[in-house]
């Protein structure tokens, strides 16, 4: 049975401090049509009123975090597993954001993903790996958490914090580094969210999206706009590479391409862009294609991509 767009529930949750900060950003930018929760062992207030706080493991940790222990993070999620399951009731697509390396994100996020998947949601995790200077202990905690999280996520975007250093030409101060990472996490969640919701309004339904993103491992997202002479080539180049994220779309097994342009766009141009993007994926990739006219774009043409099973 097809699921109607207006009954499709999308749930975005943060786990731990970094995850919740980025979810607060998403909620501020995209306030409607999505349900937001901020899951933490630490009960300090969240930055956005649109995100409903969910305390976990309060019996054990008294709401004061879990001091970097992933075991404590996991125990907290297990203590409140029934609550976690209830968050994902009727959810069609779930996003789980976390900064890996601390106790709550690394320890609890896999159990949160498990709850989302058990509820039947397409489960997409978006996480960061710590900076090198945070030390090997935090990196090991992050890597163990990541391995667990992969088991329960349909799709995952991993952003190494070290890459964030190259994502801007502006000087990154220590004070704003984590804020910048919050932004990267937020941007990733927002991009996938936009593509999924927009694409589904056109000719792509949730069954198509499930076909590409269920059990799809690492995914890559790219967005680009271009105008003027040779806009097609410039658009392809900037959509298919992304400095901030480690993964490229080489040999992707699944691809969602969503294009928009005004009514004067030629069939030839749409054809060229779609073909060239598809060429970057595996030859037998499952390609889902969506298009919408947008007369507000003027001379601009816009593309969004989600590539799955990237290496
Ligand atoms: N995006 C973001 N990342 C952060 C922030 N502070 C730390 N981090 C990164 O995220 C990782 C996890 O940190 P937190 O999110 O604070 O940890 P937590 O999941 O709350 O875990 P505990 O506090 O140990 O229970 C760190 O190792 C950093 O790499 C922040 O304010 N924003
Ligand atoms: Mg914390």
The preferred substitution site among 65, 72, 102 for testing ligand 1, maximizing ligand atoms within 8 Å of CB, is 102
More confident residue, 310 or 296: 296
Q: Are residues 57 and 174 in the same domain?
A: yes
Q: Are residues 102 and 241 in the same domain?
A: no
| Digit-coded pLDDT (tens) for 273-294 | 999 888 888 888 999 888 888 8
Of the listed ligands, the closest to the CA of 43 is 2
Position 212 in a domain: no
Does position 88 have pLDDT exceeding 90, yes or no? yes
Position 149 in a domain: yes
Ligand 1 centroid distance, CA of 16 (Å): 7
CB of 141 sitting under 6 A from ligand 1? no
Distance CA 275, CA 240 (A): 13
Q: Are residues 163 and 96 in the same domain?
A: yes
Residue 247 confidence (pLDDT): 55
Position 173 in a domain: yes
- How many Cα atoms occupy the beta-carbon half-sphere of 146 within 13 Å? 21
Q: Which atom of ligand 1 is nearest to the CA of 131?
A: 29
Contact criterion met (CB below 8 Å) for 134 and 99: no
Q: Residue range 112-122: average pLDDT?
A: 97
Q: Residue range 150-154: average pLDDT?
A: 97
Does position 47 have pLDDT exceeding 50, yes or no? yes
What CATH number does the domain containing 121 carry? 3.40.50.1440
Q: Are residues 17 and 48 in the same domain?
A: yes
CB of 101 sitting under 6 A from ligand 1? yes
Position 211 in a domain: no
Q: What percent of the chain has pLDDT over 90?
A: 51
**Total count of domains within the chain:** 2
Closest residue by Cα to residue 105 from 40, 47, 57: 40
CB of 178 sitting under 6 A from ligand 1? yes
Q: Are residues 99 and 228 in the same domain?
A: no
Position 285 in a domain: yes
Q: How confident is the model at residue 204 (pLDDT cuts 50, 70, 90)?
A: confident
Q: Are residues 165 and 229 in the same domain?
A: no
Least confident of 143-157, 169-183, 252-266: 169-183
CB of 41 sitting under 6 A from ligand 1? yes
Q: Residue range 226-245: average pLDDT?
A: 78
CB of 57 sitting under 6 A from ligand 1? no
Ligand 2 centroid distance, CA of 99 (Å): 9
Radius of gyration, alpha carbons of the chain: 19
Q: Which of 131, 166, 201 is the last residue of a domain?
A: 201
Position 1 in a domain: no
Q: Are residues 130 and 191 in the same domain?
A: yes
Q: How confident is the model at residue 200 (pLDDT cuts 50, 70, 90)?
A: low
Does position 93 have pLDDT exceeding 80, yes or no? yes
Q: Are residues 223 and 175 in the same domain?
A: no
Q: Which atom of ligand 1 is nearest to the CA of 105?
A: 19
CB of 61 sitting under 6 A from ligand 1? no
| Digit-coded pLDDT (tens) for 154-173 | 999 998 998 887 777 777 78
Q: Which of 143, 174, 201 is the last residue of a domain?
A: 201
What CATH number does the domain containing 222 carry? 3.30.1330.20
- Which protein residue has the closest C-alpha to ligand 1 atom 16? 17
Position 266 in a domain: yes
Q: Residue range 201-230: average pLDDT?
A: 85
Q: Which of 201, 229, 252 is the last residue of a domain?
A: 201
Q: Are residues 248 and 191 in the same domain?
A: no
Residue 4 confidence (pLDDT): 46
Q: How confident is the model at residue 3 (pLDDT cuts 50, 70, 90)?
A: very low
Write out the residue range of the structural domain in which residue 252 sits.
Answer: 218-308
Q: Which atom of ligand 1 is nearest to the CA of 99?
A: 10
Of the listed ligands, the closest to the CA of 100 is 1
Q: Are residues 94 and 189 in the same domain?
A: yes
Ligand 2 centroid distance, CA of 202 (Å): 40
Residue 118 confidence (pLDDT): 97
Q: Are residues 185 and 232 in the same domain?
A: no
Does position 243 have pLDDT exceeding 70, yes or no? no
Contact criterion met (CB below 8 Å) for 244 and 169: no
Beta-bridge partners for 218:
156
Q: Are residues 53 and 108 in the same domain?
A: yes
Q: Residue range 163-190: average pLDDT?
A: 79
Position 210 in a domain: no
């Amino acid at each position: 049975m097809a699921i109607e767009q207006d009954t499709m529930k999308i749930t975005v949750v943060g786990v731990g401090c970094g995850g919740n900060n980025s979810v607060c950003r998403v909620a501020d930018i995209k306030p409607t049509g999505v349900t937001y929760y901020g899951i933490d062992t630490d009960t300090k207030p969240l930055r956005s009123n649109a995100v409903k706080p969910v305390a976990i493991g309060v019996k054990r940790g008294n709401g004061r975090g879990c001091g970097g222990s992933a075991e404590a993070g996991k125990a907290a999620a297990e203590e409140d597993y029934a609550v976690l399951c209830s968050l994902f009731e009727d959810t069609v697509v779930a996003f789980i954001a976390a900064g890996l390396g601390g106790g709550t994100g690394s320890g609890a996020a896999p159990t949160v993903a498990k709850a989302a998947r058990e509820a039947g949601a397409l489960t997409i995790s978006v996480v960061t790996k710590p900076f090198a200077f945070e030390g090997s202990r935090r990196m090991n905690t992050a890597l163990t958490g990541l391995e667990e999280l992969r088991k329960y996520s349909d799709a995952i975007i991993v952003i190494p914090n070290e890459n964030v250093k190259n994502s801007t030409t502006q000087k990154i101060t220590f004070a704003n580094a984590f804020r910048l990472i919050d932004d990267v996490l937020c941007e990733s969640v927002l991009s996938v969210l936009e593509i999924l919701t927009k694409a589904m309004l056109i000719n792509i339904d949730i069954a198509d999206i499930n076909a590409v993103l269920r059990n799809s491992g690492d995914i890559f997202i790219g967005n680009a706009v271009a105008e003027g002479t040779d806009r097609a080539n410039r658009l392809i180049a900037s959509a298919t590479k992304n400095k901030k994220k480690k993964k490229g779309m080489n040999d992707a097994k699944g691809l969602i391409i969503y294009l928009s342009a005004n009514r004067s766009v030629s069939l030839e141009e749409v054809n060229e862009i779609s073909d060239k993007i598809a060429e970057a994926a595996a030859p037998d990739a499952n390609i889902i294609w969506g298009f919408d006219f947008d007369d507000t774009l003027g001379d601009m043409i816009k593309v969004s991509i989600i590539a799955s099973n990237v290496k």
